[in-house]
């Protein structure tokens, strides 16, 4: 009898690390998002108010799980407030709507700076000579489970065409396929052929626009490499969906299939560009 008790206790000790986190998560998800956090979503995430109620509830649940599982650390003396954490979680979870997800399972820590921060970068010069350098950053996604963000830019981007949170968390999604290379996990292996063809074509088009400094719907930073292209295209999909659908229709269609939402439903179409005004003719000076 005593042996059976010891076997039972041993089995319980072995099973606890596997079942206790799931039990805690179920308890957390059973609680609604506090009213103060809901107010933050409504105020700091412009598209939230235009979402259908079912989608709002889905986002709230994802935010609850995100806040439960991730750790926020302030840098350079910054104290991370509840508003900061909810804002970042809300924007990050926009990428997970309508998709089966464990809510960025490889991510455990978000480092938040007050503003742009300086990162060390090794620069490779002629002949392969490596010299230490520094680069000012707004955000960064690391493959060791951390993301770094500038709070100033978290707040200044949404609704203006750029979103550092969407950009860095797109890198996390990209890495779920094994490495960040612009080809995230798509589920169906047959989907990669069309995905690669469309993204490679538009990536080369953006490189051409960047080389000749031509206007593009997408930020020229996306021409850096395929991973940055996917992140920039994600920003564009959520921040400028009408323009992306008009100028990059096939790319927009691929992102519709991947993200399973249409951000055009959350925002009004942009105003048409003003028509050029003809100047009165003058016999003295021409037009």
Residues 184 and 86 in one domain: no
Q: Is the pLDDT higher at 25 or at 195?
A: 195
Residues 73 and 143 in one domain: yes
Instruction: List, for residues 128-177, the tens digit of each pLDDT value.
Output: 555 566 688 899 999 899 999 999 999 986 766 789 999 999 999 999 98
Supply the pLDDT for residue 21.
61
Mean pLDDT (the chain) is: 87
Give the confidence band of 220 by pLDDT, cuts at 50, 70, 90.
Answer: very high
Residues 155 and 33 in one domain: yes
The CATH number of the domain where 196 resides is what? 3.40.390.10
Supply the pLDDT for residue 27.
85
Supply the pLDDT for residue 285.
46
Over residues 22-33, mean pLDDT: 77
Residues 150 and 210 in one domain: no
Instruction: List, for residues 45-100, the tens digit of each pLDDT value.
Output: 999 999 999 999 999 999 999 999 999 999 999 999 999 999 999 999 999 999 98
Instruction: List, for residues 104-132, the tens digit of each pLDDT value.
Output: 999 999 999 999 998 776 554 555 555 56
Residue 106 inside a domain? The answer is yes
Instruction: Give bridge partners of residue 122 from the DSSP assignment.
Output: 132
Instruction: Provide the number of structural domains found in the chain.
Output: 2
Let me know: does 143 contact 109? Beta carbons within 8 Å: no
Residues 142 and 187 in one domain: no
Range of the domain at 95: 28-121+130-159
pTM of the complete model: 0.85
Supply the pLDDT for residue 286.
43
Residues 186 and 147 in one domain: no
Give the confidence band of 11 by pLDDT, cuts at 50, 70, 90.
Answer: very low
Sheet with 71-74, edge to edge strand ranges? 71-74, 109-113, 146-150, 139-141
- Statement: residue 275 has pLDDT above 50: yes
Residues 152 and 182 in one domain: no
Supply the pLDDT for residue 8.
47
Residue 46 inside a domain? The answer is yes
Q: CB-side exposure of 32: number of CA atoms within 13 Å?
A: 6
């Amino acid at each position: 009898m005593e042996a059976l008790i010891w076997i039972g206790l041993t089995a319980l000790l072995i099973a606890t690390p596997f079942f206790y986190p799931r039990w805690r998560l179920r308890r957390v998800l059973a609680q609604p998002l506090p009213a103060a956090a809901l107010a933050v979503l409504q105020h700091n995430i412009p598209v939230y108010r235009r979402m259908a109620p079912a989608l709002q509830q889905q986002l709230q649940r994802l935010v609850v799980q995100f806040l439960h599982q991730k750790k926020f650390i302030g840098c350079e003396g910054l104290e991370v407030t509840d508003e900061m954490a909810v804002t970042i979680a809300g924007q990050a979870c926009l990428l997970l709507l309508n998709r089966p997800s464990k809510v960025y399972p490889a991510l455990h820590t978000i480092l938040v700076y007050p503003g742009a921060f300086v990162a060390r970068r090794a620069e490779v010069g002629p002949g392969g000579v490596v010299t230490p350098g520094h680069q000012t950053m707004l955000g960064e996604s690391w493959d060791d489970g951390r993301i770094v963000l500038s709070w100033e830019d978290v707040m200044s981007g949404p609704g203006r065409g750029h979103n550092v949170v969407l950009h860095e968390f797109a890198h996390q999604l990209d890495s779920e396929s094994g490495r960040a290379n612009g080809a995230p996990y798509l589920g169906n292996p047959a989907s990669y052929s069309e995905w690669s063809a469309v993204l490679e074509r538009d990536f080369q088009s953006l490189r051409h626009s960047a080389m000749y400094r031509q206007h593009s719907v997408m930020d020229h930073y996306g021409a850096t490499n395929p991973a940055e292209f996917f992140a920039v295209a994600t920003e564009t999909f959520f921040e400028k969906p009408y323009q992306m659908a008009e100028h990059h229709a096939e790319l927009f269609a691929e992102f519709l299939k991947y993200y399973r939402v249409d951000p055009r439903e959350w925002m009004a179409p942009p105003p048409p560009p003003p028509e050029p005004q003809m100047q009165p003719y003058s016999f003295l000076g021409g037009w």
